[in-house]
Structure 1
Amino acid sequence: MNSISESVSTREFRADLAAVMGRATFGHERIAVTRNGKVAGVVIGLDDLELLEQLEDAADLAAYRSAKASDDGQRVSLDDLRGEA
Structure 2
Amino acid sequence: MVKVEATAARNGFSDLINKVRYGSDRVLIERRGKDVAALISIEDLRLLEILEDQIDIEAARKALANPKNKVRVPLEQVKKRLGL
Q: TM-score, normalised by structure 1?
A: 0.78
Q: Which amino acid aligns with 1:22?
A: N
1:74: Cα distance to partner?
Answer: 3.8
Runs of 4+ in structure 1 over 4 Å off? none
Higher helix proportion (structure 1 or 2): 2
Superposed, which structure 2 residues align to 1:66-81 within 5 Å? 66-72=62-68, 73-74=70-71
1:27: Cα distance to partner?
Answer: 1.1
Does residue 1:27 correspond to 2:23, yes or no? yes
Cα distance change of structure 1 residues 65 and 42 upon mapping to structure 2, 3 Å threshold: same
CA root-mean-square deviation: 1.7
Superposed, which structure 2 residues align to 1:4-83 within 5 Å? 5-72=1-68, 73-74=70-71
| Structure number with bigger Rg | 1
- Specify every segment of 5 or more residues in structure 1 that has no aligned partner in the other structure, as ranges: 79-85
In 1: Cα distance, 2:53 partner to 2:15 partner: 31
1:31: Cα distance to partner?
Answer: 0.6
1:26: Cα distance to partner?
Answer: 1.4
- Specify every segment of 5 or more residues in structure 2 that has no aligned partner in the other structure, as ranges: 78-84
The percentage of counterpart residues that share the same residue type is 32
1:75: Cα distance to partner?
Answer: 6.1
Task: Report how many residues are paired.
Answer: 73
